[in-house]
Amino acid sequence: VDTNVQIDMEKLQDSFPGFRHKYRLIKRIGEGTFSTVYKAEDLQYEHYDNTWDLEKETEKWSTPPLKSFDSHEEAKDQHIRHALQLDRLPTRQQQRRRKPKFVAIKKIYVTSSPHRILNELELLHDLRNCQSVCPLITAFRATDQVIAILPYFRHADFREYYRNMSPTDTAIYLRSLFTALSAVHAQGILHRDIKPTNFLYDPPTRRGVLVDFGLAEREGVDSKPCLCHDDASVRKSRLRNALHTSAAPHAGYPKNDTRPSRRANRAGTRGFRAPEVLFKCTEQTTKIDIWSVGVILLTIMSRRFPFFNSADDVEAMIEIATIFGQKRMRAAGQLHGCMFETNIPTIGAAGFSLERIILWSTCRIDTGEGLSDDEKIALDFLSRCLELDPSRRISADEALDHEFLRMGLD
């Protein structure tokens, strides 16, 4: 083990009183922008059960209600005392449950705001009974440090298996992911960061769990009306008015732009952001997660990872526009009151069909080999996920009913 990792592990064990009696740290399994995750053995587990079944256990896990730290100030006040933020008296149901032997300990960086940390823990708590969502066992705080304890879920690196997935394998994978999303969306929660590293999948057992609610939020919180939620006729007249009242647009990039700047939540991961996120829609919905799943499916079908590889939002928009073409991008922008103009020669008016993109990236253009019947069903599903207009994009529940995901029913 790397000495720096060793030092960090020592520090973690020293920061929480009694840590060494409860957990034995094994190794670091993840390091991201907002946290470091370790695998550990729970030394107080009740029964060792190698065949621990998450799907069944998820129902039984019940975390006690969170005692929230409502504000920064309150969090600071409490920081000297033990500051366990949860009421940890086990419920009777909890006493009966079987604990997993291994846990994932997610140490959330102290640079994250208390508000953000609380948001993640609270959402996980609200989602504790959802199938395919990794449940929260408990959480601890010591001064400014917070750790979340989750059952450890064995998983493989996406890069190791995505190239070998048949359409049926893909359908089973996505069925599991959409089962989680359906439950999350039913509670009006947007995950906001759907991508392979946040969906832990175990190919041998074909089970997956959704993790990382660090960017998740409730639909409607913080949103302001956007044109995309108006009727098409209302939207058209508003757009027309806006064009007449502002000076006629000049060619080229606007200097001294007097238009009010738009603010919208753009959190997420490059390459997985939905077009409405790039167009700074102020009324984003759970459909942004569906787009991200579409990007995962496109990755699997085209055998290219990462499929999109943009450095920023403008590049991301260029990548999407290259596929969908100027005409459809312009219509997509107008939904949110945005003008889409470009003189980049590689962005054609009509773009390319998704079928062509897949055939091209799997080197089948020259051979003349087409898509298999199963791939055609997958392609139809893909086009429903990568629909530029969020209101027309498939929902998680509709997805579970689609012929493609039905292929994933054993």
Residues that bind ligand ADP (CB under 6 A): 29-30, 32, 34-35, 37, 104, 106, 134, 150, 152-153, 197-198, 200, 211-212, 214
Of the two residues 32 and 306, which places its CB atom closer to Mg ion in the complex?
32
| Chosen from ligand ADP, Mg ion, none, partner binding at 150 (C-beta under 5 to 8 Å by type) | ligand ADP
Residue with Cβ nearer ligand ADP (34 or 161): 34
Closer Cβ to ligand ADP, 211 or 396, answer by number: 211
Tokens of 228: 């995309």
Report which of 286, 283, 245, 241 is spatially closest to residue 264, judged by C-alpha positions.
283
Partner interacting with residue 286 (select from Mg ion, ligand ADP, none; CB below 5-8 Å by kind) = none
- Scanning 193-201, 233-241, 261-269, 294-302 for contacts with Mg ion by CB under 5 A, the matching segment is 193-201
Helix (H) or strand (E) holding 102, with range, is strand 102-108
Q: How far is the CB of 197 from ligand ADP (least distance, A)?
A: 4
Shortest approach of ligand ADP to residue 354 CB, angstroms?
28
Taking the least distance from each CB to ligand ADP, the nearer of 107 and 328 is: 107
Q: How far is the CB of 31 from ligand ADP (least distance, A)?
A: 7
Does 36 contact Mg ion by CB under 5 A?
Answer: no
- 348 makes contact, choosing from Mg ion, ligand ADP, none, with CB < 5 to 8 Å by partner type, with none
Query: For ligand ADP, which is the closer residue by CB, 214 or 351?
Result: 214
Helix (H) or strand (E) holding 146: strand 145-151
Residue whose CB is less far from Mg ion, 104 or 172: 104
* H/E element, 324: helix 313-335
Closest separation in Å from C-beta 1 to ligand ADP: 17
Pairing of strands 217-218, 189-190: antiparallel
Closest CA to 177 of 214, 135, 129, 209: 209
396 makes contact, choosing from Mg ion, ligand ADP, none, with CB < 5 to 8 Å by partner type, with none
Which residues, at least 6 apart from 62, have a Cβ–Cβ distance to it below 8 Å? 91, 93, 94, 128, 129
What DSSP letter does each residue of 38-93 carry, written as one string? EEEEETT-SS--TT--HHHHHHH--PPPB----SHHHHHHTTSS----B--PPPHH
Task: Give, in order, the Cα–Cα distances in Å from 163 to each of 144, 169, 304, 356, 404.
Answer: 42, 11, 8, 18, 19
CA 31 to chain centre: 16
**Contact stretch for Mg ion (CB under 5 A) within 53-61, 83-91, 212-220, 317-325:** 212-220
Q: Which of 8, 53, 126, 193 is catalytic?
A: 193
Query: What is the rounded CA–CA span in Å between residue 305 and residue 158?
Result: 9
Strand partners, 124: none
Contact of residue 35 among Mg ion, ligand ADP, none (CB under 5-8 Å per partner type):
ligand ADP
Q: Which of 198, 265, 282, 285 binds Mg ion (CB under 5 A)?
A: 198
Q: At what angle do helices 373-385 and 167-186 cross, to 10 degrees?
A: 30
**What's the token pair of residue 99?**
């604990």
CA distance linking residue 299 with residue 162, whole number of Å: 8
Stretch that binds Mg ion, among 31-39, 44-52, 332-340, 391-399 (CB under 5 A): 31-39
Is position 380 annotated as part of the catalytic site?
no
Length of the chain: 410
Distance CA 317, CA 333 (A): 11
146 binds, among ligand ADP, Mg ion, none (CB under 5 to 8 A by kind): none
By the rule CB under 5 A, 35 interacts with Mg ion: no
What is the footprint of Mg ion within residues 145-174 (CB under 5 A)?
none
Contact 317, 278 (CB under 8 A): yes
Residue count, binding to Mg ion (CB under 5 A): 3
Q: 138 and 149 in contact (C-beta within 8 Å)?
A: yes
Q: How far is the CB of 225 from ligand ADP (least distance, A)?
A: 31
Are the C-beta atoms of residues 101 and 120 closer than 8 Å to each other? no
Q: 89: which 2 tokens? A: 């008296």
The interface partner of residue 394, options being Mg ion, ligand ADP, none and the CB cut-off 5 to 8 Å by kind, is none
User: Are the C-beta atoms of 175 and 400 separated by less than 8 Å?
Assistant: yes
Q: Which is nearer to Mg ion, 32 or 188 (CB)?
A: 32
Residue 212 or residue 217: which is nearer to ligand ADP going by CB?
A: 212
Q: From the list ligand ADP, Mg ion, none, which binds 61 (C-beta under 5 to 8 Å, kind-based)? A: none
Smallest distance, Å, CB 308 to Mg ion? 18
Q: Counting contacts by CB under 5 A, is residue 212 touching Mg ion?
A: yes
Supply the residues annotated as catalytic: 193
Q: Which residues bind Mg ion (CB under 5 A)?
A: 32, 198, 212
